[in-house]
A = this chain, B = another copy of it.
Amino acid sequence: MPVIEKAELEGFVGDVFRSAGYASEEAGLISRLMVAANLCGHDSHGVRQIPTYLKRIGEKQIVPNAPITVLRESPTTVLLDANRALGHVAAARALEMGVAKAREVKVSVAAVRNLNHIGRVGAYPEMAAEQGMICLAFVQGHIRSVAPFGGLDKKLATNPFSAAFPNPGGAPILLDFASSVVAANKIHQAYDRGVETGEGWIMDERGNPVRDPALFVEGKAAMLPLGGGRGHKGYALSVVTDIIAGVLSGAGAAHTEREIANNSTLLITLDPEAFLPRKEYERQVGELVDYLRATATRPGDPPVMIPGEFEENHRREREAHGIPIEEPVWNHIQEAVAELQVALPVPRSA
């Protein structure tokens, strides 16, 4: 499969979005965030999305260079209208405002509505953590694909939740997960690859477990909430996220009919120094990481991972050796950009 250097892929993606009408700075931000998703191993949320985003720009669902406007603001809170910006730009703006407020008043909440797909959710809390802040992100998904626990109908989106923490020993400690068993894009990825989904990911319209991703892609299967037999937990997390990100942002809860894809987002940002000196915070987190790493595992099993280490390991590997892009994904991207007069990057190997 093609393997492309980070810098070359970033240059290409930036060119694509400039050609699609974006100003240079926004195109650069989108490019860095999209490639960063691939870099850290979440290919489902990276450059694979280029064709979808271009299509939505064509449909005016996504508006390049849309102004991001303040609807309500207080010293601790802000509500933004993204006016159909691509989510990456809008969520990064909300994060920036949230971090600035948390620096002033210790804790802030920034919400944004009317934005398209934000890509990898964890990217935004990570940005806060890199600036010394703790951040929680709640995101309302845009496709009803998940059944409430005990039910059959697709009523909720995958409504992801993320949190990141400054980590003195390396990349931020990161939680980043859908409140469903997996993110929907993981099922689309299985479909692209022609493989079965994992066990317990989806069920058919009568509630029988199935593993054919085509059923999901065709709308004939629902995803299950996180937790399996304890799926009331994932379901509750999904409802919570729907209220926090959907209702508070003014986008409306899951029942709302929408014209455009929606990734309403609410970010809670917290300065750890409101509670303890930075040095003490860092010492505690460093010791916790060492303590978790020392966990015994079954003979032959790899060591336990620290949340965020999956991403960190992929980042190290792919920064050194390039980003592999699956053949069908790469072909699809090339078709999508064919009319844009953009030079394609040269893969390292094919």
Residues on A lying within 8 angstroms of B by beta carbon are: 72, 74-77, 79, 105-109, 111, 134, 147-153, 155, 163, 165, 173-175, 177, 181-182, 198-200, 206-207, 226-230, 232-233, 235-237, 239-240, 242-244, 246-250, 252-255, 268, 270, 272, 274-276, 280-281, 284-285, 287-288, 290-292, 295-298, 301-302, 304-307
Q: How far is the CA of A173 from the CA of B275 in the complex (A)?
A: 29
CA distance A236 to B136 in the complex (A): 13
With the chains together, A298 CA to B233 CA distance in Å? 20
Apart from A177-B236, A243-B285, A250-B275, list 7 A-B contacts with CB within 8 A: A74-B274, A79-B275, A107-B108, A147-B295, A150-B305, A163-B240, A247-B281
Write out the residue numbers on chain B whose beta carbons fall within 8 Å of the beta carbon of A275: 72, 77, 79, 111, 248-250
Residue on B with the closest CB to A151?
B295
Tell me, in angstroms, the Cα distance from A239 to B292 when the chains sit together: 9
Residues of B within 8 A of A175 (CB): 233, 236-237, 239-240
A147 to B298, CA, bound (A): 12
CA distance A285 to B247 in the complex (A): 8
Cα distance, A268 to B301, chains bound together (Å): 38
List of 7 A-B pairs having minimum Cβ-Cβ separation, nearest first: A151-B295, A255-B291, A253-B288, A236-B307, A175-B236, A151-B304, A77-B274
**Contact B107–A296 (Cβ < 8 Å):** no
What copy number does this chain have within its complex?
2
Contacts of A151 in B (CB 8 A): 295-297, 304
| A150, A288, A291 — most chain B CB neighbours (10 Å) | A288
In the assembled complex, the Cα of A155 lies from the Cα of B198 at a distance in Å of 28
Q: How far is the CA of A307 from the CA of B240 in the complex (A)?
A: 9
Alpha-carbon separation in the docked complex, A163 to B207 (Å): 29
Contacts of A174 in B (CB 8 A): 236
Q: A72-B274, A175-B236, A248-B275 are in contact. Are A150 and B301 (CB under 8 A)?
A: yes
Residues on B with C-beta less than 8 A from A239 are 173, 175, 288, 292, 306-307
Contact B284 A247 (CB under 8 A): yes
Q: Specify which chain B residues have a CB less than 8 angstroms from the CB of A297 in the assembled complex.
A: 150-152
Contact, CB under 8 Å: B147 / A305: no
Closest chain B residue, CB of each to CB of A286? B253
Residue of B nearest to A275 (CB): B248
CB distance from A231 to the nearest CB of B (A): 10
Q: How far is the CA of A315 from the CA of B244 in the complex (A)?
A: 26
Q: Do A233 and B226 contact each other (CB < 8 Å), given the known contacts A105-B105, A150-B301, A253-B288?
A: yes
A276 to B77, CA, bound (A): 12
Q: Which residues of B contact A150 (CB under 8 A)?
A: 297, 301-302, 304-305
Cβ–Cβ contact A165 & B240, under 8 A: yes
- Identify the closest chain B residue to A268 (Cβ): B268
Is A207 touching B243 in the complex (CB atoms < 8 A)? no
